[in-house]
A and B are shown apart, each in its own frame.
Chain A
């Protein structure tokens, strides 16, 4: 299964994410989920970004709304706009989940 997971929160969802498995996994950071792409705690990346085999995306609009720019984003994360997310849903992944 090709699964796209929308992560919309900074806390509370990591354990659920850990249990998810897919042949192809995309993690799309939106709303407060974008903090996983920009915040380091104790000098370490968010544990979300260590999910094995996943491809990471972050919504530029939500990033900029919170005062960040592309320069702040972890290099593991690709920036996307709403149109890109539509293409990810319709072309690259078969199922979606919202956390």
Chain B
């Protein structure tokens, strides 16, 4: 088993890259790999619980919780979240908040890194 870290910056609504990230993470976990997910920039909109699932919009909260339950580590950039008005009490269960140091430490130690830039 190896470790894959994904650094993801695009938003949930308006980009498909966050969907791609979760599908790739799930496929990696199925193959027995450990996956870390760092959400930063507009991707921190995943750090707001209780989002409504519209038919034509991406909605990843359910999948995110399932993956956390299976061992995926999801951490959101604390400063990016606060800058957008998402506070500690808004964070879905199982998701962590941290500074950029968390991501930097993972990039050094992880076996593979995929950094997906934002809009």
**A residues within 8 Å of B by Cβ?**
6, 8, 30-31, 61-62, 81-83, 85-87, 89-90, 95-98
List of B residues within 8 angstroms of A97 by Cβ: 115
Chain A residues whose CB sits within 8 angstroms of the CB of B113 once the complex forms: 95-96
- Min Cβ gap B1→A in Å is 10
CB distance from B67 to the nearest CB of A (A): 13
Contact A96 B114 (CB under 8 A): yes
**Contact partner, A86, options B16, B27, B117, Cβ 8 Å:** B27
Pick the contact of B112 from A6, A90, A98 — CB < 8 Å? Answer: A90
In whole angstroms, what is the CA distance A86 to B6 when docked? 12
- Cα distance A86–B23 in the bound complex, in angstroms: 10
Chain A residue nearest to B24 (CB atoms) is A82
Closest-CB distance, A16 to chain B (whole angstroms): 11
Q: A86-B33, A87-B31, A89-B4 are in contact. Are A6 and B114 (CB under 8 A)?
A: yes
**Of listed A81, A82, A83, A86, residue having the most chain B CB within 10 A:** A86
Question: B111 at the A/B interface (Cβ < 8 Å)?
Answer: yes
Q: A31-B17, A83-B30, A98-B117 are in contact. Are A90 and B2 (CB under 8 A)?
A: yes
Q: Within 8 Å of chain A (Cβ to Cβ): is B100?
A: no
Give the chain B neighbours of A86 by CB distance below 8 A: 4, 24, 27-28, 31, 33
Question: Is B26 engaged at the interface, CB distance under 8 Å to the other chain?
Answer: yes
**How far in angstroms is the closest Cβ of chain A from B49?**
26
A89 with B114, Cβ < 8 A, contacts A31-B17, A83-B30, A83-B31 known = yes
Q: Do B114 and A98 have beta carbons less than 8 Å apart?
A: yes
- Give min CB distance, A4 to chain B, whole Å: 9
CB distance from A51 to the nearest CB of B (A): 20
| Interchain residue pairs A-B with the least CB separation, the first 8 | A82-B27, A86-B28, A96-B114, A98-B116, A83-B27, A86-B27, A89-B112, A31-B16
Chain B residues near A96: list those with CB within 8 A.
Answer: 112-115
* Residues A90 and B4 in contact, CB atoms below 8 Å apart: yes
